[in-house]
Amino acid sequence: MILRRSVILTLGSMPLLARGVFSQTAVKARRVGLLSSSAPLTDSNPVVVGLTAGFSKRGYVVGSSLIFERRAAEAQPDRLPQLVDDLESKAELIITQSYAAARVVKDRSKVPVVAITGADPVALGLIDSLAHPGGNVTGVGEVAAELSAKRLEVLRDTFPSLRKIAMLWNADDLGMTMRYKSAEAAARTLGFDIQPLGVREPEDFAAAFSAMVRDRPDAILMVTDALTALNRKRVFEFAAQQKLPAIYEYDFLVSDGGLMSYGPDMHEVYDRAADLADRILKGARPADLPFEQPTHFRLVINKKTLESLGLTIPAAMLMRADEVVD
């Protein structure tokens, strides 16, 4: 009887013991902040899609073992400080999309940062050097000067007769102003005339368009940040009305209706950002992780937009494209 009672008590306590063991070994979900200066970070946003793939590749289950805390300033930079303060209490690290967002995190917080940026992080004081970032920031960024020259060469090869290029950029963003200056220097080296069109708010686009009507360029180069990206449809529509070719920096703009783009393969960028974040979650310090640069670049052409503009391009350019959007 005593033996039977002991067995019953032991068996009866097993679920409790099991629950205790499982509760002690359950993995706590890691929380990663996603901070954008631009559009809301929905599930279909390329940033979210790319980072989800990158973290999944490294064994995380987004929504379960890893939770994204998403915040977006929607082209209102004055909102960034509040968003950073909110994320600081909720996230173990923050992945930023834009120099402006990374700058605010660096200035206000000690939270580790993985910055995805097209601005020069060293020249802008975001990090000490690419090899040894120092501080709480590392990330992935492109070489603006080299890419600017390459985009202009693509324009020249596609439309050999063009001479004057209108450059549209956010003049209130220091990182984008530096990108514009890199593009301007490259353009002058290649023998192009430049029509500088800095914008600071949505209302400025009408003035920029009017300037191009009065003094018509041969093509447009748009520097991409939160402001210009959120107003991209207006740029597409203006270019279509005026039958002007335009080159953009990222392929999502071509998928949305832009003519052509040359820029880093963003799948690679998001994958490498997820890798850096994974290493930080496992104990690495951002200061010790070199700030990386893309190694793969893509030329994308929207054939439908090309036809709607009534333009023709050398067959070799279509063959050269990594993707032709129909």
One CATH from 3.40.395.10, 2.40.290.10, 3.40.50.2300, 3.40.50.620 for 30-142+265-296: 3.40.50.2300
pLDDT digits (tens, 9 = 90+) for 148-183: 888 999 999 999 999 999 999 999 988 888 888 888
pLDDT digits (tens, 9 = 90+) for 47-56: 999 999 999 9
Taking Cα atoms as reference points, which of 124, 115, 74 lies closest to residue 93?
A: 115
- The domain spans of the chain are 30-142+265-296, 144-263+298-325
Instruction: Give alpha helix (H) positions in 243-314.
Output: 251-255, 266-281, 303-308
CA distance linking residue 158 with residue 164, whole number of Å? 14
Pair type for strands 93-97 and 113-117: parallel
pLDDT digits (tens, 9 = 90+) for 93-142: 999 998 899 999 999 999 999 999 887 899 889 999 999 999 999 999 87
> In this predicted model, which residue has the larger pLDDT, 224 or 21?
224
Pair type for strands 137-141 and 66-72: unpaired
Query: In the structure encoding, which two tokens stand for residue 58, read together?
Result: 């490294």
CA distance linking residue 259 with residue 240, whole number of Å? 9
> Binning pLDDT at 50, 70 and 90, where does residue 38 land?
confident
How far, CA to CA in Å, does 117 sit from each of 16, 195, 259, 315, 322? Answer: 50, 25, 23, 33, 23
Pair type for strands 260-264 and 297-302: antiparallel
All residues at 6 or more sequence positions from 67 whose CB lies less than 8 Å from its CB, including other chains? 29, 30, 31, 32
> Binning pLDDT at 50, 70 and 90, where does residue 145 land?
low
301 three-state secondary structure: strand
CA distance linking residue 98 with residue 142, whole number of Å? 12
Average pLDDT over the chain, rounded to an integer? 89
30-142+265-296 and 144-263+298-325 share one fold: yes
Query: In the structure encoding, which two tokens stand for residue 246, read together?
Result: 């335009």
The pTM is what?
Answer: 0.84
CA 54, 55, 61: angle at the middle one, nearest 5?
A: 135
Q: Would you say 301 and 317 are in contact if contact means Cβ atoms under 8 Å apart?
A: yes
One CATH from 3.30.1050.10, 3.40.50.300, 3.30.365.10, 3.40.50.2300 for 144-263+298-325: 3.40.50.2300
231 three-state secondary structure: coil
All residues at 6 or more sequence positions from 319 whose CB lies less than 8 Å from its CB, including other chains? none
The predicted pLDDT at position 26 comes to: 56
CA dihedral 169, 228, 243, 246 (to 10 degrees): 60
